[in-house]
Structures are given as structure tokens and as C-alpha cells.
Amino acid sequence: MTASARKADGGAGEFRPMEITFSRLDETIARFTLSGVNAAFANSFRRAMLSEVPSLAIEDVLIYDNTSALFDEMLAHRLGLIPLETDLDLYGMKSTCSCEGAGCTLCQAIYTLSVEGAEGGTTVYSRDLIPQNPNAAPVDANIPIVKIEKNQKVVLEARAQLGTGREHVKWEPTLSCGYMNYPVITVADNCDGCGRCVDECPRGVLKSGPKSVEVISEKIENCSLCRLCERACIASGIGEEPAIRISHDETKFIFVVESDGSLPVKRIMEEALRWLKGKSDSLVDVLNDISGVTS
């Protein structure tokens, strides 16, 4: 997967390819290396995945009967945090819907819940939240909502709508989303191969070679940049400067993104990049208007 990005060192008019290389990609987790960009773009990408990708979450709850131990507000809050399967091709934002915010099948999903406690108590789970549209069901059927005793009831109707993490955390489609600088490990010629840095490395990134310490290439991404190997090298008495150096590539980053299940992780990445492109295009238009340039 490649795209074009301006050279990370800020070279005017010069472009270099932006590359995304996946080491893992499935429905819920992506681990990839993003190269050819600077830290500002990497962080913008991370923030876009967190706060600008829309997903469904329960916003309004009509409670007809609630004799459980939870107040109505607490019950509604718990319902709002249940991840819901989201089809962005089916639902649109309520603020831009043709119904003008009144609520319709194109901008909201409706759920009903009706549970009465049995002898010994009953736990109300997310599977008891029955969706009007099966494609908008809770991601996990076994999320506990509340425990009710015999003769207690919870009867309600819930309405979900699209939103973004910028508005509330319940609309964030990710469980985790972060990055780190790509490690660069350099072994100098004066390494005597004592192996102390190998023993000290907590991630097993180094190994003893015939003449000096070597980096295990397939494990380099596991390096946490802790620099314990540098300290071990100095402690060995090699001199004032360590023979092994840990640094990072300023144009390369390791990302790990985990979806909460509401959207496939690939779709989260695509929507975040689409949002960034839209913002970039808008900025170009504004600058052109200011300078009087016609695009």
C-alpha cells in the first residue's frame, strides 16, 4: 500500500513515497510500519483514527420500567458504552440526514430490551438488546449490563446514531491505537563480543556473533528503545562510549491499531486517511483563495 507524501525533512517541492507495510492485518488488529513521513503526520493519523472515524453508539434511551439497583442514568451510560456493529455504507450522520435530525432508518438504529428477574437473580447481557436491524447488533453478546433480582424488571428502548470520538469516547472505534519510532541499532567495530548487552536485552533483539554482537533482523521491531544494552556495554569497561548505539528513524514508525469490533480495522485506517485528505484539500482551497490562485 503506497501513497505520496511530502519529504519528511521539509524539502520544498520534493516528494518521496509514503509506504505502509503490514506485519499483521485481520478484522480487529493491524500492526504495520509507516515510512516516508514525519512525526507530525504519524500523530495526525493516530488522532484521526481515534477521534474522526464515525461509529454507532447508543445516544438516547427511553426507559419504561427499571426496578434494578442501577439509576436510570447509570443504566443508560452502560448501554452507551456497548460497541455496536457499524455499517458506514448504510448509516449516515444524523446532522446531515435528509430527515433533518428527526431520526430515521438511515441515521439511527433502534433496540429493545425487556428482561424480568428469575429466582436466584438474572444478569442482563448485551445479547438481550434486540436490534431492529440485525446488522447493527452488539459486537459481543456477553457484555454484562446489570444484575436484577426476582420480580425486578428492565424494559427500555434504545436509539443509536453515528458519532465520533471527538464528541465522546463511546464513539471511538478503537480499543488501542499507538505508534513508536522505528528503532535503529548500530554496532561499532570496537565491539569485543562480550555478550553483556545480549544478556541485558529484555526483548531478545541481540545475539552473539563470531566477532561481535549482531542484531536479529526479524526481531528489531521488538526493540523498546530502553538502551539497557548501551549501559551494559559501558559497564563492561569498554570505554567512555558504548560500542552499541540505539537511535530511531525519524521518518519511520511502528503502529498497532486494535478495533473494538464495530468496524474492521482496515476500514478505520481508510476512513482516517480519507478524513486527512479532506482536511488537506480544504486547506489547499483556502490558501488558493487567499493567494488568488485558481485550481
CATH number at 235 reads 3.30.70.20
Residue 161 shares a structural domain with residue 61? yes
Q: What is the pLDDT of residue 238?
A: 81
- The helix (H) or strand (E) run that includes residue 50 is helix 39-51
In this model, does residue 162 exceed pLDDT 50? yes
pLDDT at 75: 97
Give the DSSP letter string of 204-259: --EEE-SSSEEE-GGGGGG-----HHHHHHHHTTS-SS-SEEEEEEEEEEEEEEEE
Residue 253 pLDDT: 97
% of residues, the chain, pLDDT over 90: 80
Give me the residues paired with residue 114 across strands. Answer: 155
Q: Are residues 11 and 43 in the same domain?
A: yes
Tally the residues of the chain.
295
- In this predicted structure, what is the pLDDT of residue 295? 53
pLDDT score of 3:
41
pLDDT at 232 over 50: yes
* Least trusted range by pLDDT, from 71-75, 108-112, 284-288: 284-288
% of the chain at pLDDT higher than 70? 94
- Average pLDDT value for residue range 85-100: 92
One domain, residues 116 and 27: no
For residues 60 and 130, state if they share a domain.
yes
pLDDT of 199: 93
Question: Structural domain of residue 76, as residue ranges?
Answer: 55-171
Higher per-residue pLDDT: 5 or 71? 71
Longest dimension (CA), the chain: 78
- Same domain, yes or no: 276 and 218: no
14 and 25 co-located in one domain: yes
Considering the domain architecture, whether residues 294 and 214 belong to the same structural domain is answered as no
The pLDDT tens digits of the residues spanning 185-219 come to 999 988 988 899 999 999 999 999 888 999 999 99
Query: What confidence category does residue 293 fall into, taking pLDDT thresholds of 50, 70 and 90?
Result: low
Residue 13 has pLDDT above 70, yes or no: no
Phi, psi of 270 (to 5 degrees): -65, -45
Q: What is the layout of strands, in order, in the sheet containing 153-163?
A: 55-66, 153-163, 108-116, 130-131
Segment 153-178 shows an average pLDDT of: 96
Kindly indicate the confidence band of residue 17, based on its pLDDT and cuts at 50, 70 and 90. Answer: confident
Q: Which three cell numbers stand for residue 94?
A: 444524523
pLDDT above 60 (res 278): yes
If asked whether residues 116 and 222 sit together in one domain, one would say no
Please give the average per-residue pLDDT across 109-114, as a whole number. Answer: 97
Half-sphere exposure of 244 (CA within 13 A, CB side): 32
What pLDDT sits at residue 100? Answer: 87
Question: What is the pLDDT averaged over residues 41-55?
Answer: 97
Do 292 and 178 sit in the same domain of this protein? Answer: yes
> Are both 146 and 256 inside the same structural domain?
no
pLDDT in tens, 239-263: 888 999 999 999 999 999 999 999 9
**What pLDDT is attached to residue 28?**
95
Is pLDDT at 6 greater than 50 in this prediction? no
CB contact set of 164 (below 8 Å; sequence gap of 6+): 51, 52, 53, 54, 55, 171
* Span of 86-90, 196-200, 286-290 with lowest mean pLDDT: 286-290
The CA dihedral of 43, 47, 48, 52, to the nearest 10 degrees, is -170
Q: Mark whether 81 and 143 lie in a shared domain.
A: yes
Q: Same domain for 121 and 257?
A: no
Q: Confidence band (pLDDT; 50, 70, 90) for 294?
A: low
- Total number of domains in the chain: 3
In the prediction, which pLDDT does 239 show? Answer: 80
Mean pLDDT of the chain: 91
What is the predicted pLDDT for the residue at 5?
A: 43
Q: Which of 204, 220, 242 corresponds to the end of one domain?
A: 242
CB of 104 within 8 A of CB of 89? no
